[in-house]
Amino acid sequence: MDAVFHALSSVTRRIMLERLAVTDLTVGELAEPFSMSLAAVSKHVGALEQAGLLKRTVEGRRHTCRLNASPLASASTWLRYYEHFWNGRLDALSLTLAGESAEEGPDVHD
């Protein structure tokens, strides 16, 4: 799970995963929207591969990447455990803000 969170810590890798969720792409196609070298793209692909989020098939010089979303399940389960803490705090904030709005009265503009 550490490798998954490490892979997700990079906006570049998150964008790559979003694009791979739509279709399989070659490493070159993954590199297109970024202004970085193919070597740098390969490092990002390697991090995604190490986390198990990407499967790469090689046919000659063509490296095709495919999303493997299954490792995200354990990360999602871990995050879901903490969801009730966030929801409780957000609910309290919502009540506080609603109370402050009620105290201010209606907003009247001339």
Length of the chain: 110
CA dihedral 14, 15, 21, 26 (to 10 degrees): -110
User: For 32-52, what is each residue's pLDDT tens digit?
Assistant: 999 999 999 999 999 999 999
Nearest partner of 20 among 44, 3, 38, judged by Cα:
44
User: For 62-107, what is each residue's pLDDT tens digit?
Assistant: 999 999 999 999 899 988 888 877 777 777 778 888 876 666 555 5
CATH fold of 2-67: Arc Repressor Mutant, subunit A (1.10.10)
Residue 64: its H or E element: strand 62-67
| Composition of the chain by helix, strand, coil, percent to 5 | 65, 15, 25
pTM: 0.74
